[in-house]
Every structure is written in C-alpha cells, then in structure tokens.
Amino acid sequence: MNITTIFLNLPVKDITQTRNFWTNLGFSFNENYSGEDSLCLTLSESHAYAMLINHNKFSTFTDKPIADGKSTEILLSLQVDTREDVDSVFRKALENGGRKFKESTDLGWMYYSGFEDINGHQREVMCIDQTKMS
C-alpha cells in the first residue's frame, strides 16, 4: 500500500480571511480543488495539502460537532491509487475495531469512504481520477 497524497481537512470560519492569512505567509493554493466554500492550501506540491473548508461545507463530511477552537479536530484524508485500495483500507479498519462514520461515496472523479479509528479519530480514504475532473 502506498499513500500518494495527504489532504488535511480543517474547518475555517471565513474563506476570504483564511486565503489572505495564508497568502500573506507566502503559501499558494491549488485552485483546481478550491472553490467558494473551500481552499486547497499547498503544503508540499503533489504530496500534502490542507483543505480549508467553511463550517457549513465541513459539517457535510462528519457526524461530529465541529471543533469550536477549544478542542482540536482534524479529518485526515489519505489518497490511494485505486477504488479497490479504498475498499481494502476501509474493510481492514472495520475489521480491526474501527467504525464507519460515512457511507462510501462515488463522485465520478473521486471515490471515498470514511472510518473512525479505535481512538475516535476520523479518516477518509480516497482515490481521485484526474481524467474525470471537470
């Protein structure tokens, strides 16, 4: 198994202020994955990104309350090569005491499943087909 890319998903209150903050620190964004409700902060080109997602959109990815600044919350997404790899990691997580928190989702260009590890930390495992992105 080879994790090809890591996407850290973090809730943010204001997309414009968040973009300005990180731009002012000298970071750039992958505009292919950014939109009006999210930003894709480049941490390491082609290897690590932080998805900075407004609270409304972020709440569609989890069944837990969004961290209010008094606690820490992160939804770690791991990109693998194929849909079969997604299903394999998901199945193994459940077999080893993990819990499903989100149904498998197929967006055409992206397929993912969500599980919670034995400590309650949520993970998404996904594969992306760049050729199907519009």
Token pair recorded at residue 54: 């407004």
Asked whether the predicted pLDDT for residue 55 surpasses 80, the reply is yes
Q: How confident is the model at residue 71 (pLDDT cuts 50, 70, 90)?
A: low
Angle at 100 between CA 86 and CA 114, to 5 degrees: 45
Phi, psi (rounded to 5 degrees) for 12: -135, 155
Average pLDDT for 49-59: 93
Helix H or strand E encompassing 122: strand 122-128
Collapsing DSSP to helix, strand or coil, 110 comes out as strand
Asked whether the predicted pLDDT for residue 44 surpasses 90, the reply is no
Asked whether the predicted pLDDT for residue 67 surpasses 90, the reply is no
| Closest to 75 (Cα-Cα) out of 131, 11, 24, 128 | 11
Q: Answer for the pair 18, 12: CB distance below 8 angstroms, yes or no.
A: yes
Average pLDDT for 34-42: 95
String of b and e for 74-91 (b: at least 16 CB within 10 Å)?
A: ebebbbbeebebbbebbe
Range of 82's domain? 5-132
Residue 44: beta bridge partners?
Answer: 48
Q: Answer for the pair 37, 15: CB distance below 8 angstroms, yes or no.
A: yes
pLDDT (0 to 100) of residue 70: 63
Segment 76-101, tens digit of pLDDT: 788 999 999 999 999 999 998 889 98
**Total structural domains in the chain?**
1
The mean pLDDT of the chain is 89
Alpha-carbon span 65 to 54, nearest angstrom: 14
pLDDT (0 to 100) of residue 72: 54
Asked whether the predicted pLDDT for residue 73 surpasses 70, the reply is no
CATH of the domain at 50: 3.10.180.10
Judged by average pLDDT, the poorest of 9-18, 34-43, 73-82, 101-110 is 73-82
